[in-house]
Structure 1
Amino acid sequence: MNPVLADSGLPYGLPDFASISDDDFLPAYDAALAEHLAEVGDIASDPDPATFVNTVEALENSGRALARANGIFFNLEGPDSNPARQKIAQTLAVRLTEHANTIAMNPRLFARIEAVYATREEVGLTEPQRRLVEQRYRDAVRAGAALDETGQTQMREWSSRLATLTTEFGQRLLDDTNASAVLFDDVADLDGLSDGEIAAARRAAADAGHDGYLIALELPTSQGSVAKLTSADARRQVFEASIRRCARGNEYDTRDTVREIVELRARRARLLGYANHAEYVIAEQTAPSPQAAAGLLADLGDAAMAAGGRELDRIADGAQLQPWDVTYALAASQRSGGDIDIDEFEQYCELESVLRDGVFTAAHTLYGLTMTERPDLHGYHPDVRVWEVARDGEGVGLFLGDFFARPSKRGGAWMNNIVDQSRSLGTSPIIVNVSNLTKPDDGEKCLLTLDQVVTVFHEFGHAIHGLLSDVDYVSQSGTSVPRDFVEFPSQVNEMWALHRDVVGGYAKHYRTGEPAPEALLDAVRAATATETAHSTIEYLAAAALDLAWHRLGPDEIPVDVLAFEEQALRAAGLWSELIGPRYRTTYFNHVFAGGYSSGYYSYIWSEVLDAETEQWFLTGGGLDRELGRAFADAVLSRGDSVDPVQAHAEMLGRDAQVGPLLARRGLAAPGE
């Protein structure tokens, strides 16, 4: 059998990556797609009347070979791409879209789904079963099943073209991010970076065939190096390289790609009866409408811009700031807030300790999870490590950690599933966390900035959501929840990064092993007690930009992408010469290559629930097993088998309020 589809015999169904070559993927997909279509054909042609079991549940459990192939390939293509995989991804983007359309637009299948949907309240379905029926019906309608032949033909054409364009966007961004890395000849230009970061820059330059020091770009507009470099000219070079990505008129330029993506998304939404793509997307989210999402951004934006003006005045201290000076001045301001240099905290945040004695220990204390590294099991790259996960002594799945940056990996940090949990299928989760930390030289330690520590906790929050899943149906498993809810559990997990019962366990000096001084920990907590206005504005501007693009009609697509970007931010009240959006349009991977189109607002929407849950934990006793179990039982384990917002409200005993979020963001009015 093709090694992509073969049972590896490894624990929990971990793929045998070493046995798989890139040449195996397309033949595997040929077999898996054909098998899935045959299964669907049998369901659609079943002579018995349509029931939940023979139609909806059968459809849910079909396509297992295809799910396996997807779980393997797309966990390679993002974190370890190469030209062959990029070409395969372009081919698959169209084939998988056409395959999904063929199933969704199968008239006999849709008639059976529609029949089960019509009787869903009368046949004694459980809540997860009813939700599955409703979701399958909505998915089919939103894919064009209820359209006439002409409409279905258009849907097929537009969906295939969108699949090509979004794949192309992501690949161009990866290539231009690598091509835009900034080369410095003189190590003096890197003053302010740590010895480890300088060594990594030297190694990156050598790997690229250069002498000197190469500063790789991170995915967001703001670059970690810009917050540290003492040379204003060096900061300028890195900052400008960041904001010019994919907008330089070369082969990596994404502006025409963006325009076509936005237009086709708008046309598809209009064909399905929605005013625009944002309305189409948000119809499936917990937010009631695009207007509600935009309203939250506007309400927060007014307060954030006012706070941002005060913050800029404070850190400028009479000087004339440039855009590349702002994050540097913010960091300097935090350091100058007292006698303690909070940058010293990095010396106490070695990756192994943060993982073992911080992230994993907190998960054990709260949820009973135990992480046992399995060096006998191997991931898809030599840097990937594998842990077996048990809960209260019983194995629940595997966790793969892929922490270090490399040119083949797209920027950012994320969580993926290789295998989803499902009682119906008898599968246990295999979860991957991907980061882009600087890999240390042999024999050296990987030290994390505070932001990186928080990111590691955040991504493991997604992993917990997947690992604790306990549902029947795979499409309701773990993080398969509305996009504007999915960030909630990961944001909750961030709260433990500096919690007194957690930070004391991992914050040990990487050389001496001495615990971090309590005065340093207090200073770090004080400096990070609320988000900077700069960070809030960056985020809100990106979220507003996403909604602005996707609230356009098909006949409203602007010619000048960057001019529209400025116009949209001004209209949202979030334009600033000194503080740009977290992602500009041309490198906004989340919405033009990822799954967040019209959904980038979800981080702040989820943060309302997160801030409330943080208070629920703290007032209830903090890092407590009973609280963790209650949170897991009410929310984390249930995925989309219940209404997730309602489940959260039941846990709190009321609906979430926005007050704790405003306080956390430093946006509450005095006395609130």
Structure 2
Amino acid sequence: MRHIVFDQKVINISQNISSFIAMAILTEKFNTPHDTAPFSQISEKHYLPAFEEAIALTKKEIEDIANNPEPPTFQNTIEALAYSGQTLDRISNIFFNLHSANTNDEMEKIAQEVAPKLSALGNDITLNLDLFVRVKTVYEQKESLNLTPEQETLLNKSFKDFARNGALLDDDKKSKLRDIDAKLSVLKLKFGENVLADSNAYQLHLTNADDLKGLPEGVIEAAAALAKSVGKDGWIFTLDYPSYIPFVTYADNRSLRKEIALAAGRKGFQQNDNNNEANVMEIAQLRFERAQLLGYATHADFVLAERMAESPTNVNAFLNDLLAKAKPAAEREFEDLTEFAKQKDGITQLEKWDGAYYAEKLKQERFQLDDELLKPYFKLENVLNGAFAVANKLFGLTFTEVQNIDKYHPEVQTFEVKDEKENLIAIFYADFFPRKGKRQGAWMTSFKPQYIKDNVNERPHVSIVCNFTPATETKPALLTFNEVTTLFHEFGHALHGMLANTTYPNLSGTSVFWDFVELPSQIMENWCYEKEALALFAMHYQTGELIPMELVEKIKESATFLEGMATLRQLSFGLLDMGWHGQDPSSIASVKTFEKAQFEATQLYPDVEDNAMSPSFSHIFNGGYSSGYYSYKWAEVLDADAFEYFKENGIFNKEIATKFRDNILSKGGTIHPMQLYKQFRGQEPQVDALLKRAGLSA
């Protein structure tokens, strides 16, 4: 008996030591270059004990602020709050970034367990009456505090965060709010996991070479390599974008295009364990109930109160105004495309799986331009170096690849970013290729924000994650032009994070109004169409020949090709988002029926009954874009107007670039975005520049 007890004590001591080591790896200061995340030392077993320790530490920090016997001041309350929870933030950044970019079953289980705990902690903070009283006391004294603009923004934001998230509710309503937030945290994770599971579950396995007609050589080679990697003959195509997009764009076999397109449209919308219909309905309903609880008419009203657009009325007016301008052009383009398909192949009814295929054929005929002609000039390494060169010419940054910084996957590249005086500006991670544990799409994120504390300017650790066409046995990674603009887009977000120069972490970098955050990313895409920029990186991967200028002209000419249809597509997503979140969803009985009604004004292609978008619309049901998808078009107005300023003065004009860096990129959320924009541009943005660029002017 003693022996058994002794063994149990040994086991307990061993477990405690393991837990302590686990906590130390993630909770203590990293002994790494530039305090970068020690990915190789972290395993799944470390996360839960580290989260528990960091949550407890954050609670202690909050209690110390709330129970401070000294009278509340900006420093001991507002500033203290801004710097609280940094250990937890660091762990969360590492875990949830990997949960998106390199997940597995164990990570998903941990996420499901941790998400409600983090939600509960957030409620513990915003519903803490003693803490709110201190914040409110400082807020009511703000006119006499002689605050800087950044400090005033932080104070206003702190007060609003409490008031908008339940601090003024009675205890019963606070309890209900906690319950809603806990449920939402789990539902959103489950939504994303279901989409990823359905994506991973589908494979189009071909063994007949005739089925490959029309497909580019590199696409076929990649499909053969994938089949070989899983021990199969032939070729495998998946729903990962580098596989899916080329297939629906180039495959001559219409029935196979239909098969894979229908599979993509069924993600989260088929009768299996990954069905997201109930999740969609419950997320929408809970968001509505939460907004009502907090005194807002709808979730959209709640969200937009802290956006440039300000209200659902303004967003819907903006979307419908663009719809009125774009729809005639889109309908003409669709008629042209339909007629082209009829003449070419006798197709009388264009379906969704025909759109990309015939659009590419028409573009080739009209401009003698296609991605296969362009791809040899866009080797990934060259394009990345091109983005670096543009950043150097605009902002004086240099990017040096280093091997002494830990990576979470062997494919990740790491860079030190420095300014013209050799000061470290940021650490930059780049993760470019699809894999099983990585969600689709492309995004920018950070492992550590920029902020200033104790006179030390802590520099950010920023990452971009994409799903580009990988190298094959005979070719390096060659990008489509769409992938080139995607890289520049995410790199623009990265610059927003890297060039941040604010005092407080919760106002730094991309911590801005959601309908302003796309300006730095979307403006960067413009350089991809300019001769002067393309000359920096668009070189043939075999010969080193610079991209011919006639191809550059064709790229520019084709920039507005089918732009009416593309605009209508984006507007349809924004209207669907507002449909889910701009009303009481309790009367919605069917996801599909509701979605069809929302798409009615923008519909060009016939509906596909067994497909639906909402159950895989991760931007609004798992990401941060609920009531905010309109911001892509909103930011296009900003970026078109801003780039017009560059073009008027030279696309590498240092004075304009400095104004953009100092007034947009470095300021984060310290000042209202419209004020920042006017400081940069000298005027409010004009929609004319977007209409002109898109070819939609009257």
TM-score range, shorter chain: over 0.9
Tell me by how many angstroms 1:531 deviates.
5.9
Q: Distance in 2 between the 1:311 and 1:219 partners?
A: 25
Aligned counterpart, 1:404:
433
**Aligned match of 1:331:** 360
2:449–2:460 Cα contact (<8 Å) kept: yes
Contact 1:461 1:489 in 2 (8 A): yes
- Residue equivalent to 2:543: 512
Partner of 2:101: 79
Match of 2:286?
264
Rounded to whole Å, the distance in 2 between the matches of 1:365 and 1:530 is 30
503-512 or 411-420, which deviates more: 503-512
Task: After superposition, give the CA deviation of every residue in 1:102-132 in whole Å (9 maximum; x if it has no partner).
Answer: 1111111011011111111221111111111
Instruction: Determine if the alignment matches structure 1 residue 462 to structure 2 residue 490.
Output: no
Q: Would the aligned equivalents of 1:530 and 1:664 in 2 still touch at CA under 8 Å?
A: no
Between Structure 1 and Structure 2, the one with more helix by share is 2
Q: In the alignment, residue 446 of structure 2 is paired with which amino acid?
A: N
1:159 equivalent in alignment to 2:178? no
Which segment drifts farther, 81-90 or 546-555? 546-555
**Alignment match, 2:12:** none
8 Å CA contact 2:238, 2:244 repeated in 1: no
Q: Deviation at 1:211? A: 3.3
Mark the runs of 5 or more structure 2 residues left unpaired by the alignment. 1-20
Q: Given the superposition, is the C-alpha separation of residues 469 and 339 from structure 1 closer, same or farther in structure 2, using an over 3 Å criterion?
A: closer
User: What SS does structure 1 have at the residue aligned with 2:490?
Assistant: helix
In the aligned structure 2, how far is the partner of 1:203 from the partner of 1:220? Answer: 14
Q: In structure 2, give the amino acid aligned to 1:457.
A: F
Q: 1:364 to 1:174 in 2, by over 3 A?
A: same
Q: CA deviation at 1:498?
A: 2.1
Unmatched segments (≥5 aa) in structure 1: none
Report Cα offsets for 1:147-188 as digits up to 9, x if no partner: 000000000000000001000000000010111232222233
**2:151 paired residue number:** 129
In the TM superposition, what whole-angstrom CA distance separates every residue of 1:387-446 from its partner, at most 9, and x where no partner exists? 000011211110000001111100000000100000126321000000001222356300
Distance, in Å, in 1 between the alignment partners of 2:483 and 2:233 is 28
Report the alpha carbon displacement of residue 642 of structure 1 after superposing the two structures with TM. 1.1
CA distance in 1, matches of 2:196, 2:412: 20
| Pair 1:437 & 2:464 matched | no
Q: Provide the residue aligned with 1:568 in structure 2.
A: 598
Q: Could you tell me which residue of structure 1 aligns to residue 556 of structure 2?
A: 525
- Kept in 2, the 8 Å contact 1:342–1:524? The answer is no
Residue 592 (1) aligns with residue 621 (2):
yes
Q: Which residue of 2 aligns with 1:372?
A: 400
Counting matched residue pairs gives 665
Residue 528 of structure 2 corresponds to which residue in structure 1? 497
The 8 Å contact of residues 308 and 533 in structure 1, kept in 2 or not, is answered as yes
Query: In 2, Cα distance between the equivalents of 1:342 and 1:371?
Result: 28
Match of 1:613 in 2: 642
Q: 1:529 to 1:312 in 2, by over 3 A?
A: closer
What aligned pairs does 1:106-505 form with structure 2 within 5 A after superposition? 106-218=128-240, 223-317=245-339, 318=342, 319-320=347-348, 321-339=350-368, 341=370, 343-356=372-385, 358-392=386-420, 393-424=422-453, 426=456, 427-442=458-473, 444-505=475-536
RMSD: 1.9
CA contact (8 A) 1:182 1:216 kept: yes
Which string of whole-angstrom CA distances, capped at 9 and with x for unpartnered residues, describes residues 179-237 of structure 1? 12322222332333332222222232344454332222147998342112122122111
Partner of residue 605 from structure 2, selected from 577, 580, 587: 577
- Give, in angstroms, the shift of residue 244 of structure 1: 1.3
* Equivalent in 102, 111, 124 of residue 124 of structure 2: 102
Tell me, in whole angstroms, the C-alpha distance in 1 between the residues paired with 2:564 and 2:211.
29
1:512 deviates by 1.5
Is 1:555–2:583 an aligned residue pair? Answer: no
* 8 Å contact from structure 1 (residues 50, 115) kept in 2: yes
Partners of 1:192 and 1:229 within 8 A in 2? yes
SS at 2:245's partner residue?
Answer: coil
Letter in 2 for 1:132: L
Q: How far apart in 2 are the matches of 1:398 and 1:193?
A: 39
Counterpart in the other structure of 1:16: 38
Secondary structure (helix, strand or coil) at the match of 1:256 reads: helix
The residue type equivalent to 2:115 in the other structure is A
How far does residue 535 in structure 1 lie from its aligned partner after superposition? 1.6
Letter in 2 for 1:390: K
Letter in 2 for 1:642: I
What residue in structure 2 maps to residue 535 of structure 1? 566
Give the whole-Å Cα distance in 2 for the aligned partners of 1:224 and 1:291: 39
Q: In the alignment, is the contact (CA less than 8 A) between 2:427 and 2:460 conserved in 1?
A: yes
Deviations 1:556-600 (Å, cap 9, x if unpaired)?
Answer: 3x1210110001222xx1123259999810110000001110100
Cα shift readout 1:226-252 (whole Å, capped 9, x = no counterpart):
112122122111111111111111111
Please list the CA deviations of residues 604-636 of structure 1 after superposition, one character each: whole Å capped at 9, or x if unmatched. Answer: 111111110010000011112222111101111
Q: Deviations over 1:313-338 (max 9, x none)?
A: 21222442222111111111111014
Residue 168 to residue 309, structure 1, CA distance change in 2 (3 Å): same
In structure 1, how many angstroms separate the alpha carbons of the residues matched to 2:59 and 2:328?
Answer: 56
Give the conservation status (yes or no) of the 8 Å contact 2:429–2:463: yes
Displacement after TM superposition at 1:8 (Å): 2.5
Q: For 2:72, what is the secondary structure of its paired residue?
A: coil
Q: Which whole-Å deviations, capped at 9, do the CAs of 1:241-264 have from their partners, x for residues lacking one? A: 111111111111100110000000
Identity %: 36
Written as runs of structure 1 = structure 2, the 5 A alignment for 1:59-74 is 59-74=81-96
Distance change in 2, residues 1:478/1:397 (3 Å): same
Structure with max Cα Rg = 2
CA distance in 2, matches of 1:538, 1:45: 52
Contact 2:433 2:468 in 1 (8 A): yes
Tell me whether 589-598 or 440-449 shows the greater mean CA deviation: 440-449
CA contact (8 A) 1:79 1:409 kept: yes
Q: What letter corresponds to residue 631 of structure 1 in structure 2?
A: F
Following the alignment from structure 1 to structure 2, what is the Cα–Cα distance between the partners of residues 576 and 666? 19
